[in-house]
Amino acid sequence: MTATADRDGRWRVCIAGAGAIGTTLATRLAVAGHEVSVVARGATRAAIEADGLTLTDREGTHHARVAAGSADELGPQDAVLICAKATDHATLARAVLPVVGEGTLVVPVVNGIPWWYFEGVPGRHAGSAVEAVDPGGRLKAEMPLDRIIGAVTYVTAERLGPGVARSTNPLRMVVGEIDHTVTARVEALAAVLRSAGIATEVSARIRDPLWTKVIGNITSNPLSVLTGATLREIYTDPTLSHVARQLLDEALVTAAAHGARMDLDPDAFLAMGASMGDIRTSMLQDYDKGLPLELAAIGDAVAELAELKGLAMPRTRTILDLVRFRAAKSRAEADGPSSRKDVA
């Protein structure tokens, strides 16, 4: 850690990615007294410099002034949280390397299977790249693997504008070393997050909660794009919940094949999903905005890991193909007039 962190408990924390999750974490950390900076440019940087950050959550509305700029301007940090969408993660991860000094913790906050999945633990595929999210292992080769801390976020948030976010559910994270040890540095990181009001658990097997989050995503996000359904509808409608259960079963088999240990009861899992209420998934929100979908990390990487174990995941692959078609069609229609001819 840097001298700042050792001296008074205040950390220098850089948030890379000023979307809903990044704004939420940055605001809470700044309000807690940590020295927070945000990697931002253009209109987002201008808005943050002018008005700071604003977060409305279950505890009220919080305002915070933070530094904003490029990584080159911000200097070495105690920790950098990379909060980009999986589609932008590689680009942003490379961009933040200038803030990585001696002892800086690098925390990729991503949905789905992370690029570091096969790092730090033994096994047949140790050191392999996850091609769906890191083609050719280029990102893995560039990042400081000894600084990586795994993270799983359970934060539901919406970006209302540059530097403005709203979160309606409790804020929770799980962090852990990617080699499945428990160290002083990961305990210190968890303490910093807790100081910001984020319920944070340290896991000695970070891939276990990671798989739980992956299963939640793969059973809901793609289906939401195909149907427009909320979480409550996906997990309670007889037709959709039947499909979700099929996706759940395939993902559980894949997770188990890769050694995940999860005490997950399928019926209880579906009930928990339904209890989230009429929330629209992040993938559905991205689809409605015409943004790229996180299919690679949430779906394709899972199918890739299944294939490594000789598992087919036929229902999952079919759903992913249908989502890909729907997204491509939507983009084509947005780009110009349709050439479709209706037949009576």
Q: What is the pLDDT of residue 111?
A: 87
Task: Give the domain 3-204 fold.
Answer: Rossmann fold (3.40.50)
Record the tokens describing residue 129, joined without a space. Answer: 């790249």
- Do 211-327 and 3-204 fall under one CATH topology? no
Half-sphere exposure of 185 (CA within 13 A, CB side): 17
DSSP string, 133-185: TSGGGHHHHHS-GGGBEEEEEE--EEEEETTEEEE-S--EEEEEETTS---HH
- Which of 140, 213, 309, 341 is labelled catalytic? 213
pLDDT value, residue 4:
44
| Catalytic residue check, 213 | yes
Contact between 150 and 114 under an 8 Å Cβ cutoff? The reply is yes
pLDDT computed for residue 5 by the predictor? 53
| 211-327 CATH | 1.10.1040.10
Q: Tell me which residues of the chain have a pLDDT lower than 70.
A: 1-7, 337-344
The answer to whether residues 283 and 225 touch, using CB atoms and an 8 Å cutoff, is yes
Query: What are the tokens at 19?
Result: 């979307």
Cβ-based neighbours of 13, under 8 Å, separated by 6 or more: 26, 29, 34, 35, 36, 37, 77, 78, 79, 80, 81, 192
- β-strand partners of 64: 53
- State how far the Cα of 89 lies from the Cα of 263, in Å rounded to an integer: 30
* Token representation of residue 151: 């993270």
**What is d(CA 142, CA 210) in angstroms, rounded to the nearest whole number?**
23
What pLDDT does 261 receive? 92
Q: Taking the domains of the chain in order of start, what are their residue ranges?
A: 3-204, 211-327
